Amino acid sequence: MKEIKHFINGEYVGSASGKLFDNVNPVNGQVIARIHEAGEAEVDAAVKAARAALKGPWGRMTVAERTEILHRVADGITARFDEFLEAECLDTGKPKSLASHIDIPRGAANFKVFADLVKNVPTEAFEMATPDGSGALNYGVRRPKGVIGVISPWNLPLLLMTWKVGPALACGNTVVVKPSEETPTTTALLGEVMNAAGVPAGVYNVVHGFGGNSAGAFLTAHPDVDAITFTGETGTGETIMRAAAKGVRQVSLELGGKNAGIVFADCDLDKAIEGTLRSAFANCGQVCLGTERVYVERPIFDEFVARLKAGAEALKIGEPNDPSANFGSLVSHKHREKVLSYYQKAKDEGATVVTGGGVPDMPAHLAGGAWVQPTIWTGLPDDSAVVTEEIFGPCCHIRPFDTEAEAIELANSLPYGLASAIWTENASRAHRVAGQIEAGIVWVNSWFLRDLRTAFGGAKQSGIGREGGVHSLEFYTELKNICVKL
């Protein structure tokens, strides 16, 4: 049985405790590897290695030298594309047709994008008068923040991990990464690419395990971790904030969402149906930016529901290697239990099940997988648990509205504020409504359209801080002012 070890100071090492746990393929329920669980000793060793690397060759490199290495890291991922693709799909159960176009290419691109960005980011300079008339010059310089604790999620394991590691390393920091216990393989595999690209030992470290009383808690509590970046559930983000308060360490948190889509009667209905199908069901609904609440203007409500139903029922459920499949399994049986519990709540609360609502019939060799049906509901009250709580599954509730003001009020009614999508061909309405939506990201007539230079993050309980472009550099660097009297 394959073992997945920690990557510390440039080497793969096992846990001193001997604790291991299963890595399960969600497509068929089979154990595909055993993962070493980090204790305090392994986390401490990783943090010490990262601290030492800051003072070693990595800390002495020029920006040009660092960014050249990061380009080699990106090229190394691309050179082993099929290996990363296979590992990602075994961990997540997602179709290769999806991961090959999004997860692996973006996972590699994150290193190049931030390497190129950091070479050209400006700071500031000010001349000032002094009492003696000689003057002074103030100028800003950016310096690495230090050792960054990176806790990454299971839905887009490589992409969202490198979305943090790429800018952190480009800015000259070192990292200790704790990937999700569900999806550790590509994060571990990246250690080989780092070594081959010439990344000095200790710059990139990986520890495996769980949250409480495991690798996650040990990492966030470690006093030599200078900042923590996390993508995941809001409750876990609150726990991390409490840990980071000791030592007054900065956090960047991209947290939960219960995102709204607003479909006006003047929309291009073909675009709205296609976009909502993607936003509700892509990656089996396991996307933080996905749409679980859909508000449709009443004149087109019935047609929209009927067409979205047809689209959902046309999705091809299958294993990753099936080239015709565009809908995979959930990440784990544990997560399936959560999703199915909401499917049951919807029925208990009197929802009209438009389509789905259960487990699909699968061939015998896939019957042990974490499969669920794409599901659409109507008819639930606005305070229903299914309408107000993040499910993170392939499902959505559709509700009619009558006025623009009502749609805005409904979209803003929850404590989350990550993303929203607006579908209208009226440009004035698009700008007017987008400006009133309480979310960090608002798409108009599109979904998941991302320029990596733009700000990414949530409002309200959906997070703190922004990632992307220069916004990432704000978190991963300390801006220092130097004042020189002339």
Active site residues: 254, 288
Name the pairing type of β-strands 395-401 and 441-444. unpaired
Residue 270 in tokens? 């073909």
What torsion do the CA atoms of 107, 109, 115, 121 make, to the nearest 10 degrees? -110
Give the Cα separation of 310 and 116 in Å (integer).
44
What is the per-residue DSSP string for 133-185? S--EEEEEEEEE--EEEEE--SSSHHHHHHHHHHHHHHTT-EEEEE--TTS-H
Give the Cα separation of 230 and 160 in Å (integer).
10
Closest CA to 286 of 79, 486, 458, 99: 99
Other C-beta atoms closer than 10 Å to the C-beta of 362 total 17
> CA 133, 138, 139: angle at the middle one, nearest 5?
155
Q: Using CB atoms within 10 Å of the CB of residue 411, give its burial: 0 to 12 exposed, 13 to 18 middle, 19+ buried.
A: buried
The CB-side HSE value for 462 (13 A sphere, CA atoms) comes to 25
Give the Cα separation of 149 and 177 in Å (integer).
6
